[in-house]
Amino acid sequence: MAPQLAYIGLGNMGKGMTKNLAQKAALSSPILLYNRTQSKAAAHAESIGGPSKAKAVSSIADAVSASDIIFICVGDDAAVENIVDTALSSVPDIKGKLLVDMSTIHPDTTRKLNTQIRARGASFVSCPVFGVPAMAEAGLLICVLAGHKNDVTKILPYTIGVMARANIDLTYDDDVNATQDIGKASTFKLIGNSFILSFVEQLGEGLTLAEKAGVGIDPLKQWMELMFPGPLPKYVERMQTGDYYKREYPLFPVDLARKDLRHVTDIAKQSGMQMKSLEVVDEYLRDVKEHSGERGDIAGMYGAIRKASGLKFENDE
């Protein structure tokens, strides 16, 4: 009999991942869904197959107490800690359960959660993911896995072919000579996100310069598609079409991006180095937040760069 699954957090990423878990994974019973807004969980459960595939529950305790494996994917460290604290305080017997955090958080938070959860006889896996909401919907994420191999093995049936197209393995076993650091996955994810944010900032500068210098954006877009096919031309398209300011709900919200920058900057400081390029990225993200508020997306750095260069934030001329 397959383990009972629960999933906590139904944001842009969680909705896609739970759809694939409900429809592709070999489950013996409906996946349990929890979201702070219960009506959202109920509507999503219905949209991915109804009672035979997914069931909304009204509390974290309901999700955890009835499940063997509990996935968590929320916006920041405080939210993850609150969920775990609630689970540990409201479920008397958590022994034998496996909690899997898929959020992007500081590695120190990951290590702290691991200690707390294991002290109660449960297990913990860190599994942050790379990919935009459309990739979550399509089951094409990249999972970064850290934790004991025995625990990670339990979630492998739900990664490649279900939620993901690939895994990056940072697991460990009982070898006393090996580094047993569950925080590695969080560190890896934050480094990866710093690449993405730097790429987007550089794209914004390049497109703005191409426009101001008379080259034009279309030739640069063609070059990007030829040289770097994949996600980077998609960002160019979002910038060129004005999606960076027209979108009602951000794909990668500015506040979460700046949280990631704070985390990776702290990791760099702990490691004895400075990531100067990220200071520029954070400055532009701050400008996007001031201009767009909660709708601010990382692609909006293009607008901030345009404004700093004497153009309008919006490219609607």
Cα separation, 34 vs 246, whole angstroms: 30
| Structure-derived torsion over alpha carbons of residues 54, 58, 59, 61, reported in degrees to the nearest 10 | -60
- The residue from 189, 234, 259, 307 that is catalytic is 189
User: Which strand ranges, in their side-by-side order, compose the sheet holding 141-145?
Assistant: 129-130, 141-145, 164-169
With contact defined as beta carbons under 8 Å apart, do 284 and 201 qualify?
A: yes
Query: Is 189 annotated as catalytic?
Result: yes
C-alpha distances out from residue 87 to 44, 84, 178, 268, Å: 22, 5, 31, 32
Q: Which residues are catalytic?
A: 189
